[in-house]
Amino acid sequence: MEDLAVKKGRKYREEGIRIGLFLCALVSVITTIGIIVVLARETISFFGVVPVHEFLFGLEWRPLLKPKSFGVLPLVCGTAMIVVGASLIALPLGLGSAIYLSEYASERVRNIIKPVLEILAGIPTVVYGYFALTFITPLIRSVLPETQVFNAASGAIVGGIMVHPMVASLCDDALQAVPNSLRTGAYALGATPLEVNVRVIVPAALSGILASFVLAMSRAIGETMAVTLASGATPKLTANPLESIQTMTAYIVQVSLGDTPAGTIEYQTIFAVGSLLFVITLAMNLLAHRILKRFQEVYE
């Protein structure tokens, strides 16, 4: 019995290692708590000065100049324009590429396209911002001369290019997960590839595709450097993509580039806007996971 007993030294060492590893795993939980606390603290002070409804529903955003006004809708409008524009580009292109990769392309073509998509996904956003500013904007202006130097369209286009690889690869995964029996079954009924794809494969992979769309839009909302460089710093309620606008993220960058002392209302605004940004993206990410989970249940 003696020698089968737990050796004290070894037990403590193993237990110590386990606890150490657990603490490391807790870092991610602490990070989340940290984000929430940091954002909430300043945001609560902010709402002590500016009423919540004035922030959420106010039509004018002028926090730095007098008379001050703290209606966040112009920033939300700017972000929405970028997201809508980017989605119009990235969602159809991403899905189309995914269908091509998963249903039509040969192994050789896949081996070319996949790395290209990976490279596109790996290019830093500041590079895309530069590309928007120095290539896309002049291109738009050569066609539509009334376009402003900073404009929503340029940011939206480059945003679309940026999230396209993500949509393509997530949709590709979703399409590949569709059981082959569905494909062969549909072809056996004499359907053309178009009909098989549109009526059978895409509907079967719909949850995965929708989830990828939601995730891509969430990414576009959080996109910062490209829109800061390309789309300007003019918070305004407009639907004209050729004008200068400001997104939530670009506003945060604008303030932090200046010298804003902590504790002032200007400093607090970035946390209020940051909170809004965080809540929206979190909600969308959770939504995407929810959709995906449904999808897995269907197949199990």
Among 96, 179, 185, 203, binds other proteins (CB under 8 A): 96
Q: How many residues bind other proteins (CB under 8 A)?
A: 92
CB 117 within 8 A of CB 214: no
Compute the distance between CA of residue 174 and CA of residue 206 in angstroms, rounded to an integer: 8
Under 8 Å between Cβ of 60 and 238: no
Return the number of the residue (53 or 87) whose C-beta is nearest other proteins.
Answer: 87
Pick the binder of other proteins from 44, 52, 111, 124 (CB under 8 A).
Answer: 124
- Provide the 10 A C-beta neighbour count for residue 3: 5
Q: How far is the CB of 54 from other proteins (least distance, A)?
A: 22
Spell out the residues 6+ positions from residue 294 whose beta carbon is closer than 8 angstroms to its own.
207
Establish if 45 lies at the interface with other proteins (CB under 8 A): no
Judged by beta carbon, residue 24 or residue 65, the one nearer other proteins is 24
* Contact string (CB under 8 A) for other proteins, positions 150-189, x = contact: -----------x--xx--x---------------------
- Which of these ranges, 58-66, 90-98, 180-188, 202-210, lies near other proteins under the rule CB under 8 A? 90-98
Among positions 264-283, residues that touch other proteins (CB under 8 A) are 270-271, 274, 277-278, 281-282
Among 46, 174, 188, 192, binds other proteins (CB under 8 A): 192
Measure the CA–CA gap between 54 and 98, rounded to whole angstroms. 43
In degrees rounded to 5, what are phi and psi of residue 61? -115, 100
Whole-number minimum distance, CB 262 to other proteins, in Å?
Answer: 7
Contact between 25 and other proteins per CB under 8 A = yes
The residue (of 113 and 240) whose beta carbon lies closer to other proteins is 113
Find the part of the chain contacting other proteins (CB under 8 A) among 50-58, 179-187, 190-198, 237-245.
Answer: 190-198
Question: Rounded CA gap, 214 and 142, in Å?
Answer: 33
Which stretch in 55-63, 69-77, 88-96, 174-182 sits in contact with other proteins by CB under 8 A? 88-96
Alpha carbon distance 85, 136 (integer Å): 14
Q: Is 80 near other proteins (CB under 8 A)?
A: no
ω into 67 cis (within 30 of 0) = yes
Stretch that binds other proteins, among 50-58, 131-139, 176-184, 238-246 (CB under 8 A): 131-139
Contact 269, 63 (CB under 8 A): yes
92 binds other proteins (CB under 8 A): yes
Q: Output the CA angle 293-298-300, nearest 5 degrees.
A: 95
Rule CB under 8 A: say whether 90 interacts with other proteins. Answer: no
The three-state DSSP-derived secondary structure of 229-295 is: HHHCCCCCCCCCCCCCCCCHHHHHHHHHHCCCCCCCHHHHHHHHHHHHHHHHHHHHHHHHHHHHHHH
Q: Is 197 in the site for other proteins (CB under 8 A)?
A: yes
- Contact between 298 and other proteins by CB under 8 A: the answer reads no
**Footprint of other proteins on 217-256 (CB under 8 A):** 218-219, 221-225, 228-229, 249, 252-253, 256
Q: Which residues contact 276 (CB under 8 A, 6 or more apart)?
A: 72, 76, 248
